[in-house]
Structure 1
Amino acid sequence: MQETDPPVSHEPPKTRLVHRVPVRLRQHWKVLALLAAVVTGLVAVVGPYRIRPYITSDVTIMQSEITDNIAGTVDLFDDDAKHTLVVDISDAQYKRMISAYEKDGDKKWVTADVVVDGTQISDAAVRLKGNSTLMGLGGDRARPQGAPASGGVGGPPGGMTGMAVASAEDPTSLPLLISFDENAEGRGYQGLTELSVRPGSPVVNEALALSLTAHTGQPSQRYAYATYTINGKTTTRLLLEHPDEMYANSLSDNDGYLYKADASSRLQYRGPDQSLYADQFKQVNSVDDGNLQPIINFLAWLDGADQKEFDEHLSDWVDTESLARYLATQNLLGNGDDMGGPGQNYYLWYDLSDKKIDVVSWDLNLAMTGGATTQPDEEVQIGPPPGTEMPGAPGGMPDFGNQLKTRFLESTAWAPNYHAAYWELYDQMYADGTAKALLGDIAATIPITDGLDEQQLSTAVATTDAWITQRMESLDAARLR
């Protein structure tokens, strides 16, 4: 009997429950169990006498990032459920948030009441999130010198397409980060300390890119569509798991550090002083360690490595198989805003077991919106057409670049790994019909609201479907050459 393929799920694989327990706790559970048994025995023997604990082991074993985990009524990332998110920010707090950003770009936390799937969370915190999307709020401060003002209150920088634009007059347009523990230490919601409200609607391209990344076994983020109401206005929004400390602890069974690249970073060595990298990388987990040394050591090596050294010893520093798959995935998804894009959208995971670095994808809102005919060895283009001047940007274009990506793809030793990964991933994502099947599944979960009608959803899905068709036709032709 011919075997049939299992049905494809569009949802990124759910984080294993064990991964919501801190790594150190998982690794030392036997010690903790023995300690609990000893304490129970002592209580039985000494009765009312007070016992003072004497801790000789690593106290981080006993730490839990979330001590008050709100269960909610339904799994937030269950795509069979209809989700709702309500955010209420007082006028004073709202003005404070907007004015702080307009003044100096400060993304200030303000207090808000949040209701997730019917569960009230009072005194949560919210702040603005993003860079290019927020240019509509910054006025002259946010606009490159000499650049003309865009229509309305703002517009995508350099003519970028597929990007939502924020407006202070429309709270639903604001990309927000919700924190459950900023105002209540140790509080979480279903194992999350933060939740991102993505800009734009319905952004099926981002949801599909997340699902395809997860489908190929690479780190991704969980998401859900919800009916979203903020200060009385309702629309449809994509809610995205934000990489926090708990997310970092779920990436591997091994201990490690997760770092977020800043939009201004270019993966460049600045010297041995860790303070010189404060505006390049933010440590997500184990922040009390303040340990950027693994990144600094790698950048020092990369800065001094000639071509021979790079070809022969990159694998001592980087999981090169993972890097090849990451770079191939970004090209296949037509995402020019990756680790080499103007937003430097990526995370670095440093595994303390094998002492190697992995790249984790992030912020795929520009994926699958352009570059459908980009070939495997071409750079995905975003922004204005070639030759268009962008005042205030060097060379008239946004600032791109990442030397690890560039050197890897140009290396005769490592480029074959990229090409092998590329066509393997192409088969998994497109050739077998997965992308179009996932697109249909995703569309079925998107709620129709005041801010998104049936026609708008249908048009968005049809646009992405057409992009997939064009991508497949272009790459199928390239494969035959």
Structure 2
Amino acid sequence: MRLRHRIPVRIRHYWKFLAGCLAFLLVLTVTLSTVRIRPYVTSSSDTGGGQVTQDIAGTVDLFDETVAHSITLVFRDADYERMLDAFSDDGEKEYVEADLTIDGTTLPSVGIRLKGNSTLAGLTRDGETARRGGPGGQGGPGAGQPGGPGGQERQGGARGGMPRGAAAPDGVTVPDGAGRGAVIGGGFSRAALKAEEPETLPWLIRFDEYVDGRRYQGHREIAVRVAGMGGGSTVLNEAVTLNLLAAAGEVTQEYAYTSFTVNDRPTTARLVVEHPDEHFAEDFDGAGVLYKSLATGRFTDQGDDPIDYADDFKQITMKGSQDLQPVIDLIRWVDGASDAEFDEQLADRVDVESLARYVAWQNLLLNFDDMSGPGRNYYLWYDLTSKKFSVIGWDYNLALSGDATQGPHEQGRLGGGFRGGGDQGDRDRAGGTEPDAGLPDGFTPPEGFTPPEGFTPPEGFTPPEGFTPPDGTTGPGGNAGPGGNAGPGGGGHKLKERFLASEKFKQVYEAAYRDLYQEVYASGAALDAVDAITKVLATVDGYDAAAAGSDAESLRTLIGQRTESLASNEVITQSG
């Protein structure tokens, strides 16, 4: 009785009603727990994205690439250490609160976090691999250290390849007969990243992480780039690529060089780029929806349930008014259409001229990590008026870093080699008779070599002791490794592959290729871009003249080789 009186009077009076509610909830839990609830959108609004409550104008256009900029970050050391702990323990890239100053304009309480996947595999902390396990954690001996897999110094600078006559890095065995422009060791190296040097790390800066609705010059996020496998310390290859794309009228990321200071650390010169978000969609004409392909995506039919495509695409704009259904319909059609149906109906679903230019750009600029690469670096733009898709490229830190002799119908891959699809002339010009020519047979990596996700080893690859290929690895000849799909470059993409395999669209692709070759290489625009960007870079605080000079010279060499190699290719020489 004493225990009963401790229960509140209202509960004692209504215990039967409460017991009935609990029983009803139990029944719902048991009967509906296996029922999948699908989201449906009924609104047809053309607007989307988060509400912007504050857009800071600043004093200088952040992406005016013709002038030097300045960025300063200040954050608490304890917060930074907690962020590193989270990354080390479970791979989480948590945000740190920081005060940011851009070109003299201060923005308190922005969010910053590490950015990248394979790039961060070489990150060290207190001399040891920062990530102890899981994605990005295959550190191996010496990872991130000079001479190790993360810090091996490149011979040849900005691009992953080696100019003619360059010496191979220590620890790399180069067989006789390696073709001109072949990537030997440089294509596999990453920047040496140390947690003790935050001014050198890759960062994503989000303006509204701690202040809702805030933008800077319309941007929600910007990325501070880092030297990747394809670029030197200046990432000049990416800047030149973005410059050429913008000059040709393509939708692409904006960029600029800036001095970069973190707390009381030394100032460095860094490349900052626009991070594609809802603001990126403003570059398109008319109303449409922007979708981002995720690195985990495979562009394969998984049924009609949107939930099953959550690892394939992320909707960027018009959330709540549009959904993923158009992308699902495209994937299922590409996956199931016969060759005749593909040829007849592709133009009803995709802007064919735009797709031809996209594919031609990736080849011309030697960007193996495109929609078919391991990073799945592309966006889809769905025009709500025409009901057609366009493919949009982004993340070009591996561009201009492959084999300069790659032909128009060859698919680039990690390390600068290429495979498949081309004629015999393409392969002969690469310095070998096999489609894998470019990365020499018998490649021996340095001790402790750690491959990034999607690594495609050449024939004769000799792994070091303890070598473990990551998920997504594609073996020699295109054989998929654990968790991976066979295909050029360690990934493949059915839309791109079917488009290039179609005789109906061959002329469309080759016509786009010829036009862009004339615009980029024959005109001298690529070399002009290197010169112009290098002059701006020289005015940035923290500029390393020796590194920039080496990177620029290597890039000029590659561009010269690419121009010469393609000039005699039958795709370029034919009248159309």
Q: Which bin holds the TM-score, normalised by the shorter protein?
A: 0.7 to 0.9
The structure-2 alpha-carbon separation of the partners of 1:325 and 1:120, relative to structure 1 and needing over 3 Å to count, comes to: same
- Number of residue pairs the alignment of both structures matches: 424
The structure-2 alpha-carbon separation of the partners of 1:267 and 1:196, relative to structure 1 and needing over 3 Å to count, comes to: same
Distance in 2 (CA, whole Å) between partners of 1:447 and 1:467 is 21
The structure-2 alpha-carbon separation of the partners of 1:151 and 1:75, relative to structure 1 and needing over 3 Å to count, comes to: closer
Aligned amino acid, residue 242 of structure 1: H
Counterpart of 2:271 in structure 1 is 238
Counterpart of 2:560 in structure 1 is 469
2:143 to 150, 162, 186: 150
Distance in 2 (CA, whole Å) between partners of 1:265 and 1:255 is 25
Counterpart of 1:204 in structure 2 is 236
RMSD: 2.6
Instruction: For structure 2, list consecutive stretches of 5 or more residues without a partner in the other structure.
Output: 1-42, 124-130, 153-184, 228-232, 417-438, 440-457, 482-488
2:374 to 320, 338, 342: 342
TM-score computed with the length of structure 2 as normaliser:
0.69
- 1:132 and 1:156 in contact (8 A); partners too: no
Distance in 2 (CA, whole Å) between partners of 1:106 and 1:253 is 37
For residues 60-93 of structure 1, what are the alpha-carbon distances to aligned partners after superposition, in whole Å with 9 as ceiling and x for unaligned?
7699842211111111122343310011221122
TM-score computed with the length of structure 1 as normaliser:
0.82
Query: Matches of residues 64-83 of structure 1 in structure 2 within 5 Å?
Result: 65-83=51-69
Aligned amino acid, residue 402 of structure 2: G
For residues 34-66 of structure 1, what are the alpha-carbon distances to aligned partners after superposition, in whole Å with 9 as ceiling and x for unaligned?
xxxxxxxxxxxxxxxxxxxxxxx9887699842
For residues 245-271 of structure 1, what are the alpha-carbon distances to aligned partners after superposition, in whole Å with 9 as ceiling and x for unaligned?
1222x1323111111111121211211
The structure-2 alpha-carbon separation of the partners of 1:193 and 1:223, relative to structure 1 and needing over 3 Å to count, comes to: same
Q: Does 1:404 align with 2:491?
A: no
Counterpart of 2:219 in structure 1 is 192
User: Which deviates more from structure 2 when the two are superposed, residues 386-395 or residues 195-204?
Assistant: 386-395
The structure-2 alpha-carbon separation of the partners of 1:431 and 1:89, relative to structure 1 and needing over 3 Å to count, comes to: same
The structure-2 alpha-carbon separation of the partners of 1:291 and 1:247, relative to structure 1 and needing over 3 Å to count, comes to: same
- 2:259 and 2:540 in contact (8 A); partners too: yes
Counterpart of 2:286 in structure 1 is 254
Counterpart of 2:419 in structure 1 is none
- 1:163 and 1:365 in contact (8 A); partners too: no
- 1:171 and 1:231 in contact (8 A); partners too: no
Query: Matches of residues 360-371 of structure 1 in structure 2 within 5 Å?
Result: 360-371=392-403
Q: Does 1:420 align with 2:511?
A: yes
Aligned amino acid, residue 76 of structure 1: L
Distance in 2 (CA, whole Å) between partners of 1:60 and 1:474 is 47
- 2:291 and 2:380 in contact (8 A); partners too: yes
Q: Does 1:178 align with 2:205?
A: yes
Q: CA deviation at 1:163?
A: 4.1
For residues 425-465 of structure 1, what are the alpha-carbon distances to aligned partners after superposition, in whole Å with 9 as ceiling and x for unaligned?
00111111111111111111114667542121111111111
Counterpart of 1:53 in structure 2 is none
The structure-2 alpha-carbon separation of the partners of 1:59 and 1:315, relative to structure 1 and needing over 3 Å to count, comes to: closer
- 2:202 and 2:226 in contact (8 A); partners too: yes
Q: CA deviation at 1:389?
A: 5.4
Q: CA deviation at 1:312?
A: 0.7
Q: SS in structure 2 opposite 1:96?
A: helix
- 1:226 and 1:447 in contact (8 A); partners too: no
The structure-2 alpha-carbon separation of the partners of 1:278 and 1:59, relative to structure 1 and needing over 3 Å to count, comes to: closer
Q: SS in structure 2 opposite 1:473?
A: helix
Distance in 2 (CA, whole Å) between partners of 1:297 and 1:186 is 33
Q: SS in structure 2 opposite 1:288?
A: coil
Distance in 2 (CA, whole Å) between partners of 1:91 and 1:100 is 14
For residues 212-261 of structure 1, what are the alpha-carbon distances to aligned partners after superposition, in whole Å with 9 as ceiling and x for unaligned?
1112221111111000111322211011011111222x132311111111
Query: Matches of residues 307-456 of structure 1 in structure 2 within 5 Å?
Result: 307-383=339-415, 385=439, 386-387=458-459, 388=461, 391-392=468-469, 393-395=473-475, 399-447=490-538, 452-456=543-547
The structure-2 alpha-carbon separation of the partners of 1:63 and 1:173, relative to structure 1 and needing over 3 Å to count, comes to: closer
Aligned amino acid, residue 213 of structure 2: G
Distance in 1 (CA, whole Å) between partners of 2:201 and 2:404 is 28
1:265 to 297, 311, 324: 297
Max radius of gyration: which structure? 2
Q: SS in structure 2 opposite 1:377?
A: coil
Distance in 2 (CA, whole Å) between partners of 1:73 and 1:268 is 46
Q: Does 1:141 align with 2:134?
A: yes
Query: Matches of residues 77-156 of structure 1 in structure 2 within 5 Å?
Result: 77-137=63-123, 138-142=131-135, 150=143, 152=145, 155=150
Counterpart of 2:25 in structure 1 is none
Q: CA deviation at 1:144?
A: 7.7
Distance in 2 (CA, whole Å) between partners of 1:267 and 1:159 is 31
Counterpart of 1:301 in structure 2 is 333
Distance in 2 (CA, whole Å) between partners of 1:253 and 1:429 is 25
- 1:335 and 1:380 in contact (8 A); partners too: yes
Aligned amino acid, residue 105 of structure 2: T
Distance in 2 (CA, whole Å) between partners of 1:59 and 1:255 is 10
More helix by share: 1
Aligned amino acid, residue 172 of structure 1: E
